């Protein structure tokens, strides 16, 4: 007797149509879930506190021992940062929808993807956050209630990091732990070197530069940083970022002086990946570079870190250090180029399911 004996087609036929509860995988619907980092529900102290607490209590994000980290988190970070960060969020807040741009753009991506996948009637598209709302658990539950026995989750990070991609996947499985009948899960892999992504970035950069009344001497590809020890211990994030920039350079036909890589958004006292964006911007201005542009290839949508930290803070740093023209190139967001990337990745990862 062979180890695995496939069900004879004839025998299966003799059983007749299976009752709903016994249908094998492939009989139900498929949920596609776009997952982004998360964002506060408001800019006041309380919603900021809630968001930062959830985010900064994640052991994938802060690897310190809880006995050391929690007194710092509750005694220092959560008493000061909600107010300071809330003021920054207030500057970029989408007042029409009363939400942050990250949520507005992620929703738009979800809605456009649903439209683009209209030819796949069994596919249901939704979007969720790792921290805050709509929560990963609530959307996973919603998809299951809509008849999905399979979920394709898409952590919207081109470059893998345990601090982002892995924790987004953890959170989905955490939600499934509470379900007696959990769906099958696939996760879209990092896409830092996918031609469709590199082409989208290159086109977007070329289009935005063509609309400027100056030509930047240097373009900075600025990625969110991670603490250097995480990288030293094996997080491949830095290598993924450097590869994205290299491929982008190749696509644009630029040299290593025209397109450089930096890392932004440092948090806490330890060393993060270098070179730092703010220090580089200052140095370039002091060295006499008069015009720069910054692009954020690692962010799938514009958010506090791109709109405020780059669009406002880095611009100020450049000007104060003697620089002149400054441009911030928007993220791919829900642009046609950005949606082409998301749709291509999703269609590829759905193969065999549709």
Ligand X SMILES: C=CC1=C(C)c2cc3[nH]c(cc4nc(cc5[nH]c(cc1n2)c(C)c5CCC(=O)O)C(CCC(=O)O)=C4C)c(C)c3C=C
Q: Which residues are annotated as a binding site for Fe(2+)?
A: 224, 305
140 binds, among Fe ion, ligand X, none (CB under 5 to 8 A by kind): none
Sequence ranges of the binding site: 224, 305
The yes or no reply on residue 85 touching Fe ion (CB under 5 A) is no
In the complex with ligand X, which residue's Cβ is closer, 228 or 246?
228
Q: How far apart, in whole angstroms, are the C-alpha atoms of residue 32 and residue 123?
A: 7
Closer residue to ligand X, CB minimum distance, 131 or 326: 131
Contact 60, 85 (CB under 8 A): no
Residues of span 206-265 touching Fe ion by CB under 5 A: 265
- Taking the least distance from each CB to ligand X, the nearer of 194 and 305 is 305
Cis before 134? omega within 30: yes
Which of 126, 192, 132 is CA-nearest to residue 165?
Answer: 192
Distance CA 168, CA 187 (A): 10
Question: Distances in Å between the alpha carbon of 201 and those of 43, 210, 337?
Answer: 31, 14, 8
The whole-angstrom separation of Cα 262 and Cα 242 is 9
The answer to whether 100 and 89 have CB atoms below 8 angstroms apart is yes
For residue 169, what are its two tokens? 């996947």
Site residues (CB under 5 A) for Fe ion, limited to 288-327? 305, 309
The distance of closest approach from Cβ of residue 94 to Fe ion in the complex, given in angstroms and rounded to an integer, is: 18
Give me the least distance between CB of 267 and Fe ion, in Å please: 7
Minimum separation from the CB atom of position 100 to ligand X (A): 5
Residue 237 near which of ligand X, Fe ion, none (CB within 5-8 Å, type-dependent) = ligand X
Binding site for ligand X (CB under 6 A): 37, 39, 55, 61-62, 81, 85, 100, 102, 157, 161, 163-164, 224, 226, 237, 265, 267-268, 298-299, 303-305
In the numeric block, the tokens 């990963």 are attached to 136
In the complex, minimum distance from the CB of residue 331 to ligand X, in angstroms, rounded to a whole number: 9
Nearer Cβ to Fe ion, position 183 or 311? 311
Distance separating alpha carbons of residues 112 and 334, to the nearest angstrom: 8
Count CB-CB contacts under 10 A for residue 270: 11
Output the smallest distance, CB 160 to Fe ion, in A.
Answer: 15
Residue 85's binding partner out of ligand X, Fe ion, none, with CB under 5 to 8 Å set by partner kind: ligand X
Residues binding Fe ion: what is the number (CB under 5 A)? 3
Distance CA 47, CA 39 (A): 10
| Token pair listed for 5 | 């004996």
DSSP of 319-340, one letter per residue?
Answer: HHTT--EEEEEPP-TTSHHHHH
Q: Which does 267 bind (CB under 5 to 8 A by kind): ligand X, Fe ion, none?
A: ligand X
303 binds, among Fe ion, ligand X, none (CB under 5 to 8 A by kind): ligand X
- Which residues are within 8 A (CB) of 210 and not within 5 positions of it... i.e. 6 or more apart? none
Q: Which does 188 bind (CB under 5 to 8 A by kind): ligand X, Fe ion, none?
A: none
Task: State the Cα–Cα distance between residues 238 and 225, nearest whole angstrom.
Answer: 8
Smallest distance from the beta carbon of 276 to Fe ion, in angstroms? 12
Q: Which of Fe ion, ligand X, none lies near 277, with the C-beta cut-off 5 to 8 A by kind?
A: none
**In the complex, minimum distance from the CB of residue 47 to ligand X, in angstroms, rounded to a whole number:** 11
Q: Compute the distance between CA of residue 123 and CA of residue 115 in angstroms, rounded to an integer.
A: 11
What does the binding site for Fe ion look like in residue numbers (CB under 5 A)? 265, 305, 309
């Amino acid at each position: 007797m062979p180890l695995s004996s496939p069900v004879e087609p004839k025998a299966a036929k003799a059983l007749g149509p299976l009752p709903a509860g016994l249908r094998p995988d492939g009989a139900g619907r498929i949920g596609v879930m776009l997952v982004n980092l998360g964002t506060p529900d408001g800019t006041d102290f309380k919603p900021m506190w809630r968001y930062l607490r959830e985010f900064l209590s994640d052991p994938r994000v802060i690897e310190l021992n809880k006995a050391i980290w929690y007194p710092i988190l509750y005694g220092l970070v959560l008493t000061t940062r909600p107010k300071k960060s809330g003021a920054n969020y207030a500057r970029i807040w989408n007042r029409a929808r009363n939400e942050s741009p990250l949520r507005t753009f992620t929703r738009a991506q979800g809605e456009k993807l649903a439209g683009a996948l209209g030819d796949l009637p069994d596919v249901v598209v939704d979007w969720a956050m790792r921290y805050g709302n709509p929560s990963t658990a609530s959307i996973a539950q919603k998809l299951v209630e809509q008849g999905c026995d399979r979920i394709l989750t898409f952590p919207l990070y081109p470059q893998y990091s345990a601090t982002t991609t892995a924790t987004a996947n953890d959170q989905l499985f955490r939600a499934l732990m509470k379900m007696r009948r959990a769906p099958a899960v696939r996760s879209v892999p990092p896409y830092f070197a996918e031609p469709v992504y590199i082409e989208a970035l290159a086109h977007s950069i070329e289009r935005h530069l063509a609309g400027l009344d100056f030509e930047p001497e240097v373009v900075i590809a600025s990625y969110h940083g991670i603490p250097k020890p995480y990288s030293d211990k094996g997080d491949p994030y830095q290598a993924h970022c450097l590869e994205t920039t290299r491929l982008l350079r190749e696509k644009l036909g630029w040299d290593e002086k025209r397109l450089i890589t930096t890392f932004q958004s440092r948090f806490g006292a330890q060393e993060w990946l270098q070179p730092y964006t703010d220090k580089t911007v200052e140095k370039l201005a002091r060295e006499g570079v008069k015009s720069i542009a910054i692009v954020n290839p690692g962010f799938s949508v514009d958010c506090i870190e791109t709109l405020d930290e780059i669009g406002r803070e880095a611009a100020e740093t450049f000007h104060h250090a003697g620089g002149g023209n400054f441009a911030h190139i928007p993220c791919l967001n829900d642009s046609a180029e950005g949606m082409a990337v998301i749709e291509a990745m999703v269609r590829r990862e759905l193969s065999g399911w549709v």
